Structure 1
Amino acid sequence: MTNNPKITIIGGGAWGNTIGYLLTRSNYDYQLWSRTVTKSLATMTENTDILISAVSMKGVRDILQQLQTLELKSETIIVTATKGLDLETTHTPSQIWQTAFPNHSIVVLSGPNLAKEIQKGLPAATVVSSQNNKAAELVQSVFASDIFRVYVNDDPIGTELGGTLKNVMAIASGVCDGLELGTNAKAALLTRALPEMIRVGVKLGAQIDTFFGLSGLGDLLATCDSPLSRNYQVGFGLGKGKNLEEILAQLEGTAEGVNTTNVLIKLAQQQNISVPITYQIYLLLREKISPQEAVKNLMARELKEEFE
């Protein structure tokens, strides 16, 4: 691959444009494709060295179907920056991409990266992860800049799941703040959220250590404590008594945690995983309980050891 790789971003939302901003910051040219662009996807992806997917979870399969009719170069690196789980298969974005393009290197990009903060030029850090270390290191070098520190690991599933599962916890955190339950309650919630994420991750083949890194604990802290997070906004609105339809209609973009909650409950039932926080959020999103009842249910759980 040349020192000036051809880079194509797919997805013109907030995160896709933020990725473009980061590439400009690191002195790399890029082109961005979205449904509003006049050029075809085939034209934009021809001879691309690095293809970055920044579409929402529900848009992944549509993009895949279009790309599979085209001819990507065999050495094209595919970077997925989507956080979510597929409702039909319960797979992560990288698993879906790898199945569709088994001979390509797939790299996951995930971390505590609030788009609006990055676009203000504020410093941030992230993780790029792949089973192909050379591909991950190349993507690392492309994104690294004066405001963006990039780390590498070899656990793409864990890296993805950290960024995905914390969205459910961000909804719970928003509910906590919306109900004005205080710092003690929120600290307890976030502390118990992490082992719940780890239980799911380990069951699905992730490494425990990954959840204590930027894409796990780091993303959990950022998303659960920021009004900039769409998932936090969903929870906060629910805590204030608004209904989900009203909240989603006012959001700027997609709150992936809503769909992820549904998929996670499906996974938990299939794999027999204990997810008490997620289950209460699931009931709340389906209007089966009130925010106050969700808190009561969590507080009334059977007493147990902290570390099992």
Structure 2
Amino acid sequence: MQETTIAILGAGAWGTALANLAAANGHKVKLWSRHGTETLEAVLQDVHIVLSAISMKGVRDVALQVQSCPLSPETIFVTATKGLEPQTTATPTQIWQAAFPNHPVVVLSGPNLSAEIQKSLPAATVVASNITTAAEKVQLIFSAPRFRVYTNPDPLGVELGGTLKNVMAIAAGVCDGLQLGTNAKAALVTRGLTEMVRIGNFLGAKTETFYGLSGLGDLLATCNSPLSRNYQVGYQMAIGQTLTNILANLPGTAEGVNTCQVLMQLAKQQNIYMPITEQVYRLLQGEVTPQQALDELMLRDIKPEFHFNLKISDDGNI
């Protein structure tokens, strides 16, 4: 593949890991930080791809800044941010696409703990876009012997998988911090996935996407690793730390804290059933202790695991 010039916005652990992958494949990489000295316009000069790996709170502001920079009409935008905007509930892709309606936007998401990728440990991810050729180009740029990249035609589902699992990772951290055991953790993660699908379907994502790398895969990674910042929030709250102290000492942003608040706004407006998200929200707000949140989840009304909608044809087949 010919050399591509890539601007990566966000020089944190995730942005740096992606920069290293692209550079190792022979591409020219420009890394930009809001706290650096190089201007955004200088970094964006003559680039083919703009990849955003900044935290959710900075996405709209940076997108507006990029709008004022001269870009080729062929430029592809890639978003690797996981979160929802509080004021609008918009995803990062929706913000970038609104700012650049005539450009392809690709989502990159998966079970990608940046510390492991930096060590060249094997990993896989998903790139998704409504424009297949754009996703395939990004796939080639980041694919490596130890970083396998898949494509997917459901960008919203891929993006929401990476976003919604952060709330479940907080709950998983609480589970481990309270030493509730493997059975409890397995039940939590499974029911967490069901909740993710329910929310995702409501927002327009495809069910099957949540059973792939960007949904179940990312959920398993972040619910089982101390490297996950969201997991650390839940774990440390369960052993008695305050949320304020945890966030002050966390390296980077735990997007699940903000995402949980946005989801509860959505749940109340649209009457979506989110029992795990609700208890995580109440815990983060200081309304319940970790043990009380657990009791609330365990003491809910008994119900079927699934509601099967089976259609039987005239010949008796399902």
Scaled by the length of structure 2, the TM-score of the pair is 0.95
Query: Counterparts of 2:279 and 2:38 in 1: how far apart (Å)?
Result: 45
CA drift of 1:37 comes to 2.7
Aligned partner of 2:149 in structure 1 is 150
CA drift of 1:26 comes to 2.3
1:195 aligns with 2:194: yes
Once superposed, what is the RMSD of the aligned Cα atoms?
Answer: 0.9
Structure whose alpha-carbon radius of gyration is higher: 2
CA drift of 1:272 comes to 1.6
CA drift of 1:299 comes to 0.4
CA drift of 1:43 comes to 1.1
Aligned partner of 1:185 in structure 2 is 184
* SS in structure 2 at match of 1:62: helix
Q: Is the 8 A contact 2:109 2:126 kept in 1?
A: yes
CA drift of 1:35 comes to 2.2
Aligned residue type for 1:197: M
Query: Counterparts of 2:36 and 2:192 in 1: how far apart (Å)?
Result: 40
1:92 aligns with 2:91: yes
What is the 5 A alignment of 1:1-308? 3-308=2-307
* SS in structure 2 at match of 1:30: strand
Query: Counterparts of 2:87 and 2:263 in 1: how far apart (Å)?
Result: 12
- Unmatched 5+ stretches in structure 1: none
Aligned residue type for 1:233: Q
Query: Counterparts of 1:197 and 1:230 in 2: how far apart (Å)?
Result: 19
Aligned residue type for 1:283: R
Identical positions, percent? 60
Scaled by the length of structure 1, the TM-score of the pair is 0.98
Query: Counterparts of 1:149 and 1:49 in 2: how far apart (Å)?
Result: 22
CA drift of 1:46 comes to 1.6
* SS in structure 1 at match of 2:111: coil
Comparing 36-45 with 108-117, greater Cα deviation is found at: 36-45
Query: Counterparts of 1:216 and 1:169 in 2: how far apart (Å)?
Result: 11
Query: Counterparts of 1:214 and 1:183 in 2: how far apart (Å)?
Result: 22
Comparing 213-222 with 260-269, greater Cα deviation is found at: 260-269
CA drift of 1:71 comes to 2.0
CA drift of 1:23 comes to 1.1
Query: Counterparts of 2:59 and 2:169 in 1: how far apart (Å)?
Result: 23
Aligned residue type for 1:244: L
Aligned residue type for 1:68: Q
Matched residue pairs, number? Answer: 307
CA drift of 1:47 comes to 1.9
Q: Is the 8 A contact 2:14 2:53 kept in 1?
A: yes
Q: Is the 8 A contact 2:166 2:255 kept in 1?
A: yes
CA drift of 1:5 comes to 1.5
Query: Counterparts of 1:126 and 1:117 in 2: how far apart (Å)?
Result: 13
Query: Counterparts of 1:36 and 1:289 in 2: how far apart (Å)?
Result: 38
Q: Is the 8 A contact 2:76 2:105 kept in 1?
A: yes
- Unmatched 5+ stretches in structure 2: 308-318
